[in-house]
């Protein structure tokens, strides 16, 4: 039995050593990925800063061009108005998220009509509402007569 005890000890040492090698390999890979992501983030930040300065230079050029024919205060005011309209339009585009389907109206009971239903909740639990069937229950062309309108409604749990 002495030999088996010795082999068991060697197996444990081998497993420990393999685990250590695997941990080091994962740690090195994560360091490399993090280094690349930090570099990419720094380049994006620099790109944003340079873009901001470029926009400021364009605004300055617009103001200077307008000041050739107008008083300086009027040129600055017009430039500020143009930038304000651009900011408002960009904000509207960001809020719509590219899914704007027309104006929403408010019904007599205060509910919003014609709006798009909100997306999935941030919890990731799925759809916020059950899917809507293509036609109403009991409508012509459906499989069955559907439930009675005054029958109690039960939810599945």
Give the number of residues written for the chain.
Answer: 157
Beta bridge partners of 112: 106
- The alpha carbon of 17 is separated from its chain's Cα centroid by a whole number of angstroms, namely 43
Give the pTM.
0.41
Residue 151: DSSP 8-state: S
Q: Is 117 left (phi over 0), alpha (psi -120 to 50) or beta?
A: beta
Helices marked H in the chain — which ranges? 2-67, 72-96
pLDDT digits (tens, 9 = 90+) for 55-94: 999 999 999 999 999 999 999 999 999 999 999 998 998 8
| Residue ranges in the chain modelled with pLDDT below 70 | 1-7, 98-157
pLDDT at position 10 is 72
Cα-based distances in Å from 49 to 72, 108, 117: 27, 49, 37
């Amino acid at each position: 039995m002495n030999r088996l005890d010795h082999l068991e000890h060697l197996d444990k040492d081998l497993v420990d050593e393999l685990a250590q090698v695997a941990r080091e390999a994962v740690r090195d890979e994560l360091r490399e990925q993090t280094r690349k992501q930090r570099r990419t983030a720094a380049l994006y930040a620099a790109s944003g800063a340079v873009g901001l300065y470029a926009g400021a230079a364009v605004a300055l050029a617009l103001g200077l061009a307008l000041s050739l024919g107008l008083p300086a205060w009027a040129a600055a005011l017009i430039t500020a108005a143009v930038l304000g309209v651009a900011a408002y339009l960009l904000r509207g585009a960001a809020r719509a998220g590219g899914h704007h389907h027309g104006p929403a109206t408010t019904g007599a009971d205060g509910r919003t009509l014609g709006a798009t239903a909100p997306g999935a909740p941030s919890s990731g639990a799925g759809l916020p509402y059950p899917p809507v069937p293509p036609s109403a229950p009991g409508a012509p062309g459906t499989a069955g007569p559907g439930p009675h309108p005054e029958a109690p409604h039960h939810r599945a749990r």
